[in-house]
Amino acid sequence: NAGVMQNPRHLVRRRGQEARLRCSPMKGHSHVYWYRQLPEEGLKFMVYLQKENIIDESGMPKERFSAEFPKEGPSILRIQQVVRGDSAAYFCASGTEQETQYFGPGTRLLVL
């Protein structure tokens, strides 16, 4: 049973470009969470999605960030017009309501 998959594992962007991070949940999991880990810090919740619905986006920056989890395909975290402060590790986790969240390997975003 494959775990949570994230790609790319590493992403380099120049300031002003767009970054797209993808997350495929574990089989049977319908809930996806995105977290951000800034250098030398803990993980901070960004957004919680179920298929085709955003349930809680209280941790998302108000501008430039968006997330989706379509009926088919992976969940996408999109960052428009990236800035240096967006450099971080972005983790996706999947689970069901009552289960532990299982984390993907993360995408390391570096903005030059």
Partner 1 sequence: AQKVTQAQTEISVVEKEDVTLDCVYETRDTTYYLFWYKQPPSGELVFLIRRNSFDEQNEISGRYSWNFQKSTSSFNFTITASQVVDSAVYFCALRGASGTYKYIFGTGTRLKVLA
Q: Which residue, 42 or 85, has its beta carbon nearer to partner 1?
A: 42
Residues that bind partner 1 (rule: CB under 8 A) add up to a total of 25
Residue 25 within binding range of partner 1, rule CB under 8 A: no
Per DSSP, the residues of 80-99 read -S--GGG-EEEEEEEE-TTS
Q: Of residues 46-105, which lie at the interface with partner 1 (CB under 8 A)? A: 48, 55-56, 59, 89, 91, 93, 95, 97, 100-105
Q: Which residue, 66 or 102, has its beta carbon nearer to partner 1?
A: 102
Tokens 């030059």 sit at which residue?
112
Residue 42: count other Cβ atoms within 10 Å of its Cβ: 7
Q: Which residue, 72 or 100, has its beta carbon nearer to partner 1?
A: 100
- The whole-angstrom separation of Cα 60 and Cα 9 is 21
79 CB-contact burial (10 Å; exposed 0-12 / middle 13-18 / buried 19+): buried
Q: Which residues bind partner 1 (CB under 8 A)?
A: 31, 33, 35, 41-45, 48, 55-56, 59, 89, 91, 93, 95, 97, 100-106, 108
